Amino acid sequence: MNVEDLELGDVVYAAKTITDDGSIPDGVEGEILAEAGTRGVITLIGHVEEEPNRSVFLVRFEDKDMNLGNPVGCWVEDLAMEPKTIN
């Protein structure tokens, strides 16, 4: 199973630090939205009209108090099915 096989409500992890690329209304470009390894839940799966074969996932990541934040649009490569392990 891979990220593209996941469904609404499934738990995922940020595969890398995810930042605002300037596309979030009232957001701050460059602001960290989720640190690498942060746990989140998939709330919506869709695609961008210009790239119908490329999935985009809306994910609500947990903050340090384990509260879910606002939905963040993520590409498949932004997500992992397991947290990164530090060696």
All structural domains of the chain with their residue ranges: 3-80
What element of type H or E holds 72? Answer: strand 68-75
Percentage of the chain lying above the pLDDT 90 cut: 69
Are the C-beta atoms of residues 10 and 79 closer than 8 Å to each other? no
48: pLDDT strictly greater than 70 = yes
70 exposure class (CB count in 10 Å sphere: 0-12, 13-18, 19+):
exposed
pTM exceeding the 0.75 threshold for the entire prediction: yes
Mean pLDDT confidence for 3-32? 91
- Given a cut of 80, whether residue 46 has pLDDT beyond it is yes
User: pLDDT at position 25, please?
Assistant: 84
Supply the mean pLDDT for the chain. 91
pLDDT at 83: 83
Query: Which option is the CATH number for 3-80: 1.10.3720, 1.10.1060, 2.30.30, 1.10.3470?
Result: 2.30.30
